[in-house]
Amino acid sequence: MSLQQKVWFITGCSTGFGRQIAKQAIEAGYKVVVTARKIEQIQDIVSGNEENTLALTLDVTNDEQIKDAVEQTIRKFGRIDVLINNAGIGYFSSVEESVEEETRRMFEVNFWGLMHMTNAVLPHMRAQKSGHIINFSSIGGLTSFPTLGYYHATKYAVEGVSESLAKELTPFNIAVTLIEPSGFRTDWGGRSSVKTDTQIPELQQSVVGQMLKGVQQSNGQESGDPVKAADAVIKVVEASKPPLRLLLGKAAYQAATHKFTSLLADIEDWKEVTINADFE
């Protein structure tokens, strides 16, 4: 299939990664479905290129909107080749002080919204025997930091289900890739996140308080470049053998290698206890 025939469907395009990826995918010549909860925030992306684009209202926690968006895409373009599950939110708080209503909302967006979107697209990809699902995770889907416990839980869930999905979809020529960025200038720590103020004095004075202050101070100063991230996503889509995981950012590389080096060391240190847990 030529590049011009491929159809991309991207969630969460009003800001951040989604917006940048949509703009660059359109510039690259793809047909692109651009979605956001407020359609007026994405009209500028598609303006002047309506033949090859489609702007749709989509809240990934709304099953009817998901169904309608997929149906409109199929009516206009006849297929969906690339699904970019980008829509997501963050939440900052110590685990002890996290508000369940906020954490459940985050799970609805970051995990269940991603899954409902994926399951709505899969029948079309299986029928055409091709496709690529790109799930935005995070370096926080591989390793954890203070104040992000429940956010990590959503991303670890995305990691786990994506690994299973990749194996299930191999016979249908459908690839799955997890994107795992570190800090990028997408305002993720600002408008795209909720914070619960720490009230427990011991936590205020500990690593929890320090982390919350650090996030506030670094917002907008992160090392990651969203333009380069979008280029990387396009490169993955165009690869003949796309990876299951793609880390983005030097900090992501450093955090991931530290995590797995430490994990392997623990595994080897406790090897005898581990293998002696089996029946003789």
Instruction: List residues with catalytic annotation.
Output: 137, 151, 155
- What are the respective helix, strand and coil percentages of the chain, to the nearest 5? 50, 15, 30
Cα distance between residue 232 and residue 51, in whole Å? 26
Residue 98 contacts residue 91 (beta carbons within 8 Å): yes
DSSP-derived 3-state class of residue 124? helix
Cα distance between residue 121 and residue 95, in whole Å? 34
Q: Which H/E stretch holds residue 214? A: helix 207-218
Closest listed residue to residue 80, CA positions, set 10, 163, 143, 176 = 10
Alpha helix stretches (DSSP H) within the chain: 16-27, 43-46, 63-77, 100-107, 114-128, 149-169, 201-204, 207-218, 226-238, 250-269, 271-275
Q: How many CB atoms lie within 10 A of CB 181?
A: 25
Closest listed residue to residue 97, CA positions, set 157, 155, 147, 154 = 147
Sign of the dihedral through C-alpha 218, 222, 226, 229: negative
Q: Partners of 56 in the beta sheet?
A: 35
